[in-house]
Amino acid sequence: MSHAFRAASLLATLFASFFAQAQCDRWQQRVKYDMDVALNASTHRFTGIATLAYTNNSPDTLREVFFHLYFNAFRPGSEMDVRSRTIADPDARVTDRIAALEPHEVGELRVERMAQGGKAVQLEHLGTVLRATLAQPLLPGRSTTLAYAFAGQVPVQIRRSGRDNAEGVAYSMSQWYPKLAEYDHRGWHAIPYVGREFHGVWGDFDVRLTLDSAYTVAATGVLQNPEQVGHGYPSKKAVKRPAGNTLTWRFSAKDVHDFAWAADKDYKHVVRPMADGPELHFFYKDTPELEAVWRQLPEYMEKNFRFMNEHFGRYPWPQYSFVQGGDGGMEYPMLTLITGNRRLGSLVGVSVHESVHSWYYGVLASNEGRFAWMDEGMTEYASSKVMQHLFGGDGDPHASSIDGYLGLAESGKHEPASMHADHFNTNAAYGATAYSFGEMLIHQLGSVVGEKDLAQGLRRYYAACKFKHPEPIDLERAFEKQSGLELDWYFDEWVSSTRTLDYAIAEVMQVGDSIRITLQRKGEMLMPVDVMLVGRDGGQLLFHVPLSLARGAKRPDRDRAPFTQLPSWQWTDPRYTFSVKGDITSLAGVTIDPFTRTAERDRDNDAVIFPEGVRGVARP
Ligand SMILES: [Zn+2]
């Protein structure tokens, strides 16, 4: 290695680490919860005593803080109730069920009193939000401790959390405690709950749960007192339960942004240690029907975690739990609640999706309300790869995301993905945007930067933004650094508009000794274009037309197949022409986007097939 080369590579290393730090480097708040909670399983009421250490890393002085009180959504007349009864296409799990709840079935969460350094904090309950006016302002860079008591009632399960779900699971306890709202560079996120997305403050939880000892408890974090608990938790010492009818479970979770738990008397608890990954836990109702399916789950999930670790970044926590509960599937840190009465494919599918959220939500904690597509779409993208790894098949695992997005684009209900999740006019548009559009956007990026830089860019994004709240700009910058391209046009226009993509082959003609090909941009959306020429002998020639705005092109050795790079398409031009030496009679066809990676709205104008002997094709 020459001296000059060493200096250059040292400089490159310095720049790489400089850029890695210059991304996702916004300040973020920090919390430390210490909670003692007692649940009365006959009244479904609970009380808690909490100490919350809150560090203000913002440059601002805070005079008030906000908490979420999600259980208050499950009361007639709540914002969630009214939203569900007035939206055009309500979630079938909710409809008017909240309006019909009796007083003993409703949810309730109240903070009874709060003190800051011995002085009373003024509280104002605003439905699912609590405003707490601090006794002393919290200065930038300082911490404070809030001590408070809370009490609530677990609602009958309507959506995600609650008691007695459709499969008879006693307690699905998500979004159940007074949860401090996040304050970031966009200000407070004290969003009233309408049943959709979450955002939380990074921190540590130490939670002690006391309830009837007949219940088995699953929770975020790691159980700290297995020798007093038993219930299937591995313990180094012999299990010795304290006397009495109740049991206290102590869970500790580090570097998470929420805490969920579930409890049932009939849980079977299976533990599967992984040599090269987290300890996997499974909790499900102990019935022969469930056993027949669930006993197959651990092996699939071990493969799932191994694949994700290898391709998307390492899962950072020591444990993960798959828990029967809730009303479908929902992700929480180190744990998911999923309905369990499913066939194997469906059980594996939901388990993959929710556990993959550990990467896109758990570690990369984007504000799900503001950027739902980063949360669900990226989870779908990785899940599709995992499912193909688990079940095989050589088709494109992301094809359905393009179909789903195009269905939305055609439906007339399309709204920009930059819309806050709570504010989409229809549940259908929110769903297709967060899941299908989001997956499509990542998949399609492969056609811009190349497949290898897409995969590496995702790992780069993970490394740069783990344990942060990444935003679209952070994803964009990760891919810009990985590919060397300018990508603002891609993220800006796809995320903030409802424009659609349509490139066409306008003309293929013999001119002298060359075949002249003219492409046309018919849609408003801009993209680079891949063009494949297929000869009558079956030979293929792949060309790439870069978009001028990208200031470069994907590298020929970093995509699915080698290609010849053509001069850039100046973005203001509606047409683009290039020539290839050869005779048109040797050509069988020309195709745009031959790997169908882009969300082309009209595929009919993407291909020209030549009947034998034809000298040229022109389209109006
Ligand atoms: Zn999801």
CA of 403 to the centre of ligand 1 (A): 19
Within 202-343, residue ranges assigned H as helices are 226-229, 288-294, 297-312
CA of 104 to the centre of ligand 1 (A): 31
141 burial type by CB count under 10 A (0-12 exposed, 13-18 middle, 19+ buried): exposed
CA of 407 to the centre of ligand 1 (A): 20
3-state secondary structure of 488: helix
Rounded CA-CA distance 359/380 in Å is: 11
Task: Give the pLDDT of residue 17.
Answer: 44
CA of 199 to the centre of ligand 1 (A): 14
Query: Hey, which bits of 522-614 come out as E strands?
Result: 529-535, 540-545, 564-565, 575-581, 587-592, 607-609
CA of 376 to the centre of ligand 1 (A): 5
CA of 362 to the centre of ligand 1 (A): 11
3-state secondary structure of 297: helix
CA of 263 to the centre of ligand 1 (A): 22
**Are the C-beta atoms of residues 140 and 56 closer than 8 Å to each other?**
yes
CA of 321 to the centre of ligand 1 (A): 16
CA of 353 to the centre of ligand 1 (A): 6
CA of 412 to the centre of ligand 1 (A): 24
Query: Hey, which bits of 286-410 come out as E strands?
Result: 319-324, 329-332, 335-338
CA of 610 to the centre of ligand 1 (A): 45
CA of 69 to the centre of ligand 1 (A): 22
Task: Give the pLDDT of residue 140.
Answer: 98
CA of 167 to the centre of ligand 1 (A): 21
pTM over 0.85: yes
CA of 159 to the centre of ligand 1 (A): 15
Task: Give the pLDDT of residue 16.
Answer: 44
Task: Give the pLDDT of residue 68.
Answer: 98
CA of 377 to the centre of ligand 1 (A): 8
CA of 542 to the centre of ligand 1 (A): 36
Tokens 């990444």 sit on residue? 470
CA of 562 to the centre of ligand 1 (A): 35
CA of 153 to the centre of ligand 1 (A): 27
What domains can you pick out in the chain, each with its CATH number? 21-201 (2.60.40.290), 386-496 (no CATH), 503-618 (2.60.40)
Angle between helix axes 488-496 and 438-449 (nearest 10 degrees) is 160
pLDDT, tens digit, 9 for 90 and up, residues 414-439: 999 999 999 999 999 999 999 999 99
Task: Give the pLDDT of residue 23.
Answer: 76
Say what the alpha-carbon torsion angle 286, 292, 297, 299 is, to the nearest 10 degrees.
120
Amino acid at 377: G
539 burial type by CB count under 10 A (0-12 exposed, 13-18 middle, 19+ buried): exposed
Task: Give the pLDDT of residue 296.
Answer: 98
Name beta bridge partners: 152. 46, 109
Q: Which positions of the chain have pLDDT values less than 70? A: 1-22, 620
Query: Hey, which bits of 512-583 come out as E strands?
Result: 514-521, 529-535, 540-545, 564-565, 575-581
Q: How far is C-alpha 361 from the geometric centre of its chain's CA atoms?
A: 5
CA of 189 to the centre of ligand 1 (A): 21
